Amino acid sequence: MGERPYFIELEQALAICAKTTVKLSVEEVDLDNSHNRILATDLQSLVNDPAFDNSAMDGFAMRHQDTLNPPTTLQIIGTIQAAGQEDQITIQSGQAVRIMTGAPIPKGADAILQVELTSTEGNTVTLQKEGMKHFIRKKGENLTKGEVSLAAGTFLTPSRVGLCATMGHPTIPVVKQLKVAIISTGDELKQPGEELGYGEIYESNSFGLAGLIKWLGHIPVRIHCVGDSLDALRNTLNEAATNNDIILTSGGVSMGEWDLVRKIMEDEGDIHFWRVKLRPGSPPLFGLWQNTPIFGLPGNPVSSHVVFRMLVAPWIRNITAATGPIESRANATLSSAVKPTKDCLTLRRVSIEMTDNGLLAHQNIHQGSGNLASMALSEGMVILHPGQESAIGDKVEVIFL
Ligand code: AMP
Ligand code: MG
């Protein structure tokens, strides 16, 4: 192998990853299947929203001019509960119509008073206040027909799926989900439910990584664990490359004799970089296996998660031009000291508490990269630049988990 980037900064690693893309395609899915998907094209509204002037309140519609000196008593000439009934009614001076939220405004009316501020007797209503013009929701005030309200790349959250329906779309063009193979490596790994022998542990990385892939809106394909054998690994990688868009491996990328993912990639794959200045998570490699992008993630459970969040997720969002899910970051004040490392971007798991003085970050859990509880029981991670000493009271950037 020739010279290749080694132990590089995260930004450089991201820049190298960005040169590799995967082929995307578009499919049309119905609304029910559009949740957590990435919109493939700009989406225009097929209608005005609202489509007609309507009432924002349950109450009465009337002419505003009639209500200037409350209390005012008006004659009730009808009820409008839904579309289609307003055509038959025109309000004249001295008249009111009972109206429900969302129902069209009858001709002649230009104000609404909510039912709580009225009393009725027979077919008259007494208004305790002036009618309110702003309780009429105007045609097109939210969206006008033809307006692009969701841009290509938008991640379809629940309210956005609702908005697609509001705009009149029964089906939505979305980016076809990427299939991401997840291969765990290590002779010591057993499936939860199996009996553990001495020296064996339960395989956990593939489950967490599968969740992270789903979080991004794609399809995880968990492949059975591969023992520390080059032949088994080669076969599994070949199969994964044939059937998937991206491969993630976990374990076997460090310096050791048995770190076979690194070894096989060095001998038979195409490595674009190896090792990143990130702690936890310095061992990863990125490259191609038979033209399929492959991330070799570290085996330590915290490290594999951190590398996914900091390296894999930004790349996948980038290649799909997705604007979500939004990676939430905030500033917090430290209520305990956190230690940087000399030359790596360092992430420390912390609890984050909302207080009257803003967010407080507290490191109260053992930070070992094998301690998955430190991640699972924390709300966020403090991001420290190399050498950034941080004491109680300092402001730091946190990324939410
Ligand atoms: P490795 O990078 O293969 O040397 O693994 C580093 C550490 O992570 C070792 O303690 C492994 O037992 C552990 N490990 C590797 N793969 C997994 C996995 N899929 N789930 C949980 N722990 C793992
Ligand atoms: Mg291993």
* pLDDT tens string 371-385: 999 999 999 999 999
Distance CA 370, CA 366 (A): 10
* pLDDT tens string 11-25: 999 999 999 999 999
Residue to mutate, 233, 300, 308, ligand 1, most ligand atoms under 8 Å from C-beta = 300
* pLDDT tens string 271-313: 999 999 999 999 999 999 999 999 999 999 999 999 999 999 9
- What's the longest Cα–Cα distance across the chain? 93
- 16, 273 Cβ separation under 8 angstroms: yes
- Copy the structure tokens of residue 278: 């990130």
Q: Is 281 in the pocket of ligand 1 (CB under 6 A)?
A: no
Q: What pLDDT score was predicted for residue 297?
A: 98
2 falls in which pLDDT band (50, 70, 90)?
low
Asked whether the whole model's pTM tops 0.85, one would answer yes
Sheet containing strand 111-114, edge to edge, reads 111-114, 59-62, 95-99, 72-80, 124-127, 118-121
- 170, 147 Cβ separation under 8 angstroms: no
Distance CA 42, CA 154 (A): 9
Q: Is 118 in the pocket of ligand 1 (CB under 6 A)?
A: no
**Choice between 3 and 379, residue whose per-residue pLDDT is larger:** 379
Ligand number with the minimum distance to the CA of 283? 1
Ligand 2 centroid–CA 277 distance in Å is 21
Distance CA 268, CA 282 (A): 22
Q: Tokens 């029981």 correspond to what residue?
A: 377
Q: Is 282 in the pocket of ligand 1 (CB under 6 A)?
A: no
DSSP output for 190-202: E-TTSPPPTT-EE
Nearest protein CA to atom 10 of ligand 1, as residue = 300
- Copy the structure tokens of residue 370: 């094998």
Q: Is 297 in the pocket of ligand 1 (CB under 6 A)?
A: no
- 249, 185 Cβ separation under 8 angstroms: yes
Ligand 2 centroid–CA 332 distance in Å is 36
Identify the burial level of 88 via C-beta atoms within 10 angstroms of its C-beta, where 0-12 means exposed, 13-18 middle and 19 or more buried: exposed
Q: Is 252 in the pocket of ligand 1 (CB under 6 A)?
A: yes
Nearest protein CA to atom 17 of ligand 1, as residue = 299
Q: Is 59 in the pocket of ligand 1 (CB under 6 A)?
A: no
Q: Partners of 303 in the beta sheet?
A: none
Ligand 1 centroid–CA 186 distance in Å is 7
* pLDDT tens string 159-191: 999 999 999 999 999 999 999 999 999 999 999
Residue 291, φ and ψ in degrees, nearest 5 = 70, 5
Residue 73, φ and ψ in degrees, nearest 5 = -110, 125
* pLDDT tens string 199-238: 999 999 999 999 999 999 999 999 988 999 999 999 999 9
Distance CA 351, CA 374 (A): 10
Q: Is 13 in the pocket of ligand 1 (CB under 6 A)?
A: no
Q: Is 301 in the pocket of ligand 1 (CB under 6 A)?
A: yes
Q: Is 298 in the pocket of ligand 1 (CB under 6 A)?
A: yes
Distance CA 392, CA 337 (A): 5
Check residue 102 and report its DSSP letter. T
Ligand 1 centroid–CA 301 distance in Å is 7
Ligand 2 centroid–CA 110 distance in Å is 73
* Rg for the chain, CA atoms, rounded: 30
Q: Tokens 């765990």 correspond to what residue?
A: 184
Q: Is 167 in the pocket of ligand 1 (CB under 6 A)?
A: no
pLDDT at residue 1 above 60?
A: no
* pLDDT tens string 68-126: 999 999 999 999 987 666 677 899 999 999 999 999 999 999 999 999 999 999 999 99
